[in-house]
């Protein structure tokens, strides 16, 4: 059990952090940096962003629909949120451990596998739009009951999570791949790295 507004505040803080990283850091990177794969089987930052955007294309409209339904049906907010067992399991599965350590390597569903070379700037722009939309939905969610409203997961319309659990799962999933994307761009080696780089590049 957790206080509803505290939970929403936590989710907003996390989402704002992802948004700020995208705007203040990733937008400053070149397409080559965003497209860099640190290993043959490892995703680039652009691929991580496309993967997250695929999930966002399902979950953001589904969350918005649940909130609107809650408003229409008078599902007023309650003081505490109680996570469901399935929602808690999915969230814990995605949530990185302390220090940003990913618990295990997971295989993405076929419909969420990114393309080999996605357009990095387009993926980044969509990711920024999605994080802004998530912030708006989190603010709107304070007006409805996170326990009663349900959202279908992307794998099956028959499996539905509580609205609060859906936020938790999506944001934990975002955290996982933001870390992965960050490590990909950090591993990029500039061409002619042994030579002096312009100050503007060094500042990156």
- pLDDT tens sequence across 171-201: 999 999 999 999 999 887 766 544 443 433 3
Closest CA to 50 of 134, 154, 123: 123
Q: Give me the pLDDT at residue 52, please.
A: 97
Q: Is the dihedral of CA 103, 105, 111, 116 positive or negative?
A: positive
Which residues of the chain register pLDDT less than 50? Answer: 193-204
Domains in the chain, start-ordered, CATH in brackets?
2-202 (1.20.120)
Closest CA to 172 of 34, 55, 62: 55
Distance CA 122, CA 131 (A): 14
The answer to whether 151 and 62 have CB atoms below 8 angstroms apart is yes
Helix or strand run (H / E) with residue 154 = none
Q: Give me the pLDDT at residue 194, please.
A: 44
- pTM recorded for the entire structure: 0.88
Tokens of 139: 């603010």
The torsion angles phi and psi of 64, rounded to 5 degrees, stand at: -60, -40
């Amino acid at each position: 059990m957790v206080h509803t507004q505290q939970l929403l505040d936590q989710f907003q803080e996390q989402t704002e952090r992802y948004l700020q990283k995208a705007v203040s850091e990733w937008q400053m990177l070149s397409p080559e940096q965003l497209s860099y794969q640190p290993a043959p089987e490892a995703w680039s930052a652009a691929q991580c962003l496309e993967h997250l955007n695929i999930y966002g294309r399902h979950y953001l409209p589904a969350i918005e629909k649940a909130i609107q339904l809650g408003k229409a049906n008078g599902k007023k907010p309650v003081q505490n949120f109680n996570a469901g067992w399935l929602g808690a399991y999915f969230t814990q599965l995605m949530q990185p451990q302390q220090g940003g350590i990913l618990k295990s390597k997971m295989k993405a569903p076929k419909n969420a596998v990114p393309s080999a070379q996605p357009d990095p700037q387009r993926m980044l722009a969509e990711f920024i739009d999605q994080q802004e939309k998530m912030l708006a939905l989190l603010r709107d969610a304070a007006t409805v009951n996170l326990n009663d409203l349900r959202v279908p997961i992307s794998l099956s319309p028959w499996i539905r999570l509580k609205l609060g659990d859906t936020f938790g799962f999506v944001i934990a999933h975002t955290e996982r791949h933001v870390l992965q994307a960050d490590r990909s761009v950090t591993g990029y080696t500039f061409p002619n790295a042994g030579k002096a780089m312009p100050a503007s590049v060094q500042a990156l």
